[in-house]
Amino acid sequence: IAGITQAPTSQILAAGRRMTLRCTQDMRHNAMYWYRQDLGLGLRLIHYSNTAGTTGKGEVPDGYSVSRANTDDFPLTLASAVPSQTSVYFCASSVASGGADYNEQFFGPGTRLTVL
Amino acid sequence: GENVEQHPSTLSVQEGDSAVIKCTYSDSASNYFPWYKQELGKGPQLIIDIRSNVGEKKDQRIAVTLNKTAKHFSLHITETQPEDSAVYFCAAGGGADGLTFGKGTHLIIQP
């Protein structure tokens, strides 16, 4: 593994189903993020984690949950998917977050999710 | 929270000409301003960034300027080439809750 990987690459999901998007990084970055990208709306932050064991809500957290059990993994779960969650989801990581240590965010290749 | 406005949404320039994309932000506490390039089907990739203690930064054909007083920053691409065609995003941040992105600019380089 090199950088950030996301799985699956794409998924079609029936409304009401539960879905977990996976994200793994091998750079030992402390901070990780989940964004959704929708046409005309850019990238919007869903949830973030500044370090293993902690998480926080972003701009659009409703309907999503995350966990950060270890440094490398940051899964995003849709408990009961709805059509408005159709989007492209990007995971990102950075060495640290906040203050003078703010650093580049590295993005994964994305997961294209369609909820019918 | 932070609010980032990006203009224009679409920019078409002739190959060899310059392109300028502008962003404004609202939170005076933001101190990190990256620019990302996204090619079709891929994740965004950092092309240049600037911190609030610097007014201008240049990397070959790409430059970024920052005006903290006016809360705006701009991306300048000179001598544009076909491979510069992509969607460009500005962002602002510096706190513990990640970056706030602009809505993106689709840059089209006309041959």
Q: Average of pLDDT values for A59-63?
A: 95
| pLDDT: which is higher, B51 or A11 | A11
Q: How many CB atoms lie within 10 A of CB A54?
A: 12
Separation CA A31–CA A106 (nearest Å): 10
pLDDT digits (tens, 9 = 90+) for B82-105: 999 999 999 998 766 678 999 999
Query: In chain B, which residues touch A (CB < 8 A)?
Result: 1, 6, 9, 31-32, 34, 36, 42-46, 49, 51, 89, 93-104
Collect all residues of chain B within an 8 Å Cβ-Cβ radius of residue A107. Answer: 36, 43-45
The answer to whether B52 and B70 are in contact (CB under 8 A) is no
Nearest C-alpha in B relative to A41: B103
pLDDT digits (tens, 9 = 90+) for B6-62: 999 999 999 999 999 999 999 988 889 999 999 998 999 999 999 888 899 999 999
pLDDT of residue B95: 67
* B95 to A98: CB separation less than 8 angstroms, yes or no: yes
Collect all residues of chain A within an 8 Å Cβ-Cβ radius of residue B94. Answer: 98-99, 102
pLDDT digits (tens, 9 = 90+) for A66-94: 999 999 999 999 999 999 999 999 999 99
The CA–CA distances, whole Å, from A96 to A3, A74, A105, B36, B75 equal 15, 15, 9, 18, 25
Greatest CA span in chain A, whole angstroms?
A: 44
A45, with CB counted inside 10 A (0-12, 13-18, 19+), is buried
When the pLDDT of each residue in chain A is averaged and rounded to a whole number, the result is 92
Nearest C-alpha in A relative to B43: A109
B53, with CB counted inside 10 A (0-12, 13-18, 19+), is exposed
DSSP letter string, B41-58: TS--EEEEEEETT-SEEE
* A48 to B1: CB separation less than 8 angstroms, yes or no: no
The alpha carbons of chain A give a radius of gyration, in whole angstroms, of 13
Collect all residues of chain A within an 8 Å Cβ-Cβ radius of residue B101. Answer: 35, 42-44
pLDDT of residue B16: 97
Q: How many percent of chain A have pLDDT more than 90?
A: 83
